[in-house]
Amino acid sequence: MAILQNSCCGCCNLRTGCIVVGVLFLILHLIDIAIKASNIEAGGGWPDILGVAIEVLAVIIVFFLFYGVIKEIRVLLLVWVVFVIVILVVELIVAIITTVYVLSIVGPFTPASLTLLPFWIIYLLMLCLVIYGVLVVYSHYQNLRDGITDDGAAPPPGAYPPGTAAPPPGYELKDPPPIV
Average pLDDT in the chain: 84
Predicted model pTM: 0.74
Read off the pLDDT of each residue in 13-27 and give the average, rounded to a whole number: 93
C-alpha distances out from residue 103 to 15, 95, 123, Å = 44, 12, 17
For residue 139, count other CB atoms closer than 10 A to its CB: 23
Q: Alpha-carbon distance 59 to 57, whole Å?
A: 5
Q: Alpha-carbon distance 43 to 141, whole Å?
A: 42
- Quick: pLDDT tens for 71-110: 999 999 999 999 999 998 988 888 898 889 888 988 888 8
- Band of the pLDDT at 168, cuts 50, 70, 90? low
Q: Quote the pLDDT of residue 59.
A: 95
Read off the pLDDT of each residue in 126-148 and give the average, rounded to a whole number: 91
Q: Is residue 68 pLDDT above 90, yes or no?
A: yes
Q: Alpha-carbon distance 149 to 23, whole Å?
A: 22
Q: Alpha-carbon distance 137 to 128, whole Å?
A: 14
- Band of the pLDDT at 119, cuts 50, 70, 90? confident
Nearest to 80 by CA among 88, 96, 143, 116: 88
- Band of the pLDDT at 69, cuts 50, 70, 90? very high
Q: Alpha-carbon distance 129 to 134, whole Å?
A: 9
Name residues whose C-beta falls within 8 Å of residue 81's C-beta, 6 or more positions apart in sequence: 134, 137, 138, 141
* The amino acid at 162: P
- Quick: pLDDT tens for 32-48: 899 888 888 888 777 77
CB crowding 112-136: b at 16 or more within 10 Å, else e? eeeebeeeeeebeeeeeebeebbbb
> Burial of 165 by CB count in 10 Å (0-12 exposed, 13-18 middle, 19+ buried)?
exposed
What is the phi/psi pair of residue 12, to 5°?
Answer: -150, 165
- Band of the pLDDT at 18, cuts 50, 70, 90? very high
Cβ atoms of 133 and 21 closer than 8 Å: yes
- Band of the pLDDT at 158, cuts 50, 70, 90? low
Q: Quote the pLDDT of residue 62.
A: 97
